Amino acid sequence: MDFNSWQRLAEQQTFIDRALINGRPHAAQSGETFAVINPATNHLLAHVAACGEADVDAAVKVARHAYDQGPWARMAPRERKAVLLRLAELLLAHREELALLDSLSMGKPVMDAYTIDVPGAAGVFAWYGEALDKLYDEVAPTGRDALATITRVPLGVVAAVVPWNFPLDMAAWKLAPALAAGNSIVLKPAEQSPFSALRLAELAMEAGLPEGVLNVVTGLGEHAGRALGLHPDVDALAFTGSTAVGKLFMQYSAHSNLKQVWLECGGKSPNVVFADCKDLDLAAEKAAFGIFFNQGEVCSANSRLLVERAIHDEFVERLAEKAKAWQPGDPLNPTSRMGAIVNARQTERIVQYIAGAEASSATCVTGGQQLTINGSSNFIQPTIFTGVTADQPLAREEVFGPVLAATAFDSEDEAVALANDHIYGLAASVWSDDLNRAHRVAGRLNAGTVSVNTVDALDVTVPFGGGKQSGFGRDLSLHSFDKYTQLKTTWFQFR
C-alpha cells in the first residue's frame, strides 16, 4: 500500500477504549480513563479505561472461574490447536488494521508493523498451536509395582504485563505458549499502546477461545500493573519491560502470594567487530539495523559497538554512510525506516543522553538532532558517537533510542572484557571470519543470545531472554512452556 492509502485507512481507524473482561467491554469501575496520543502527530487517539484494583480483581476472578470451570484447560490439545491456528489466520486477515493500531499509538513505521510485527505474532500463535499436540509426558523408571507419571500441567491464572515497543508481538510471545498450555490469562498492555492487544483478544474469541480465558485490563502500570503483581490469586506473572519495574514485580510477589515471576528486562547489547571480518559492508549494514530498527526502542538493540582498532575508522565511516538510510519520517510513509519516538518524555530522555555525550570526550560522527515532522518533535536522527569510554552513561545505561556508542579495542581479551563489563546480559553479536575465534568469543560472551556474523538473531524456534539484570526465563521455543506449566508427579502403587 502507498502513503495515501495508509493515511486514508488511518483516518477511518477506530479504537477500542475499554478493557475486555469475560468477553465483554469493561469501563473502569472508577470511571477513570487515560489518554493515548499518537506521538507522530500529538493527536489524541482515544481515552481508554484506566483500570484499578477492583477491575483487576474482577478480571482475575473471571480468569480463575474460566480455568476451574471452563472448557479450555480440559479441551483436547488438538482442539486448542485448532483455535490457535484460526487466530493466526485472523491476525493475518486483519494485518493492515493491527499494523496501524501499533504504528499510530507508538510511532513505529507502519510497514515494519505490517511486514514484521503482525506476521510475526501470527507465526507465533501458529507455531504454538502446531506444537501443543506433539508434546509427550514422561514415565519414571520405577519398579514394576508402581507407575509414576510426570506430566506438565497448566498453572491456572497467568498474568502478562508487556511494554509498548512491540505491542502485538510482546503480547503474542506470552499469550501463545500460556494459552497453548491451557492457562487462563489476564493481559495488561502498556498504557501507550493498548489497542492491538484489545483487538487480539476480540479476534481470539472469534477464533473460538471461550469467554473469560483471555482478559485484557487496560491501565497505568502503577495501578493496573501493580494490582496484578500483588494479586493473591495470580499463579504466575510474565513481564517484559524495564529492569526497574521488573524488580518491583519480584517485590510484589514476595509481598503477596509468591507467584512465579518471569522477567524479560533491559539490555545494552555489545556488537563486536573483529578486523578479520571479511564483509565489513554487511557488518556495517547490520550494525545500523541493530541500533536504528524500531527507532532503537528494542531491548536487545546493539547499542554498544566494539570495533578492533585496525578497522575502526573505516568501519565507522561505512556505518555513518548506512545511517543515512535511517532518517526518521512519517510512520505512515512506506519509505520511512524510522518513525517517531514513543512520546515526548522518552524523546527528552534520549536528547539528554545525546547532550551528555556531546559534553563528554566522545565524538558525534553523525546525527544528534531532534527533528520536527508534522508538528511533532518526537523524531531523532540516527546518531553515532565514537570514543565512548566504558564508564560513560552512553556505555552504561539503556537509552532506548537511535543512539550508538562506539569504542575501539586492541585485543580479543579486551573486547570480551568490555562486552561483559555490564549489568545486562541479553544479547551480543560477533563478527569474524575466523571460525575458531567466532566460536571462542561466542562462548565467552555473557548473553542469552549470541549472534555470529549477524545481529539480533531471533526466531520462534529458539529461546529469547537474558541473564544478569536482563532477567530470567525464556520466551519463544518449546522452552517457554517451562514458564507456563509445572511438573506434576502421580505415583500409582500397585498391590
Contacts with ligand NAD by CB under 6 A lie at: 161-165, 188, 190-191, 221-222, 225-226, 229, 240-242, 245, 248, 264-267, 299, 398, 400, 426, 470
Minimum CB distance to ligand NAD, residue 280 (Å): 28
Catalytic one among 51, 265, 277, 299? Answer: 299
Q: What minimum distance in Å lies between the beta carbon of 300 and ligand NAD? A: 7
Cβ atoms of residues 185 and 178 within 8 Å: yes
Q: How many Å apart are CA 316 and CA 307, to the nearest integer?
A: 9
**Three-class SS state of 244:** helix
Give the nearer residue to ligand NAD in terms of CB position, either 357 or 447.
447
Q: What is the DSSP string of 76-122?
A: -HHHHHHHHHHHHHHHHHTHHHHHHHHHHHH---HHHIIIIIHHHHH
Residues in the chain: 495
Does residue 89 have an active-site annotation? no
Q: Find the shortest distance in angstroms from Cβ 149 to ligand NAD.
A: 34
Please report how close the Cβ of residue 171 comes to ligand NAD at its closest, in angstroms.
Answer: 10
Q: Considering beta carbons, is residue 346 or 381 the nearer one to ligand NAD?
A: 346
Round to whole Å and give the CA distance between 407 and 388: 5
The minimum distance between CB 22 and ligand NAD, in angstroms, equals 21
We find the least distance from the C-beta atom of residue 84 to ligand NAD, in angstroms, to be 22
Helices (H), 278-333: 280-292, 309-323
**Nearest residue (CB) to ligand NAD, 380 versus 438:** 380
Separation CA 271–CA 251 (nearest Å): 33
Choice between 156 and 229, CB closer to ligand NAD: 229
Q: How many CA atoms lie within 13 A of 52 on its CB side?
A: 8
Cα–Cα distance measured from residue 464 to residue 462, given in angstroms and rounded to the nearest whole number: 7
Kindly report each contact of residues 113-122 with a partner whose C-beta sits within 8 Å and lies 24 or more positions away, as own/partner: 113/168, 117/166, 117/168, 117/169, 118/91, 118/92, 118/168, 119/92, 119/95, 120/169, 120/172, 121/91, 121/168, 121/169, 121/171, 121/172, 121/200, 122/88, 122/89, 122/91, 122/92
Burial class, 495, CB count within 10 angstroms (exposed 0-12 / middle 13-18 / buried 19+): exposed
Pick 91 or 476: Cβ nearer ligand NAD: 476
Angle at 215 between CA 128 and CA 16, to 5 degrees: 105
Nearer to ligand NAD, 161 or 283 (CB): 161
Longest CA pairwise span in the chain (Å): 80
> Rounded distance, CA 376 to CA 39, Å?
7
Q: Is the dihedral of CA 418, 419, 420, 424 positive or negative?
A: positive
- Minimal distance, residue 449 CB to ligand NAD, in Å: 11
Task: In whole angstroms, give the CA distance from residue 71 to residue 209.
Answer: 10
Closest CB to ligand NAD among 121 and 316?
121
- Shortest CB 487 distance to ligand NAD, Å: 25
Q: Please pick, among 97, 191, 264, 398, the residue that the annotation labels catalytic.
A: 264
Q: Which residue lies nearer to ligand NAD by CB, 70 or 219?
A: 219
**Residue 264 is among the residues annotated as catalytic for this protein:** yes
Least Cα distance to 426 among 307, 304, 299, 286 occurs for: 299
Q: Which helix (H) or strand (E) holds 393?
A: helix 393-396
The residues carrying an active-site annotation are 264, 299
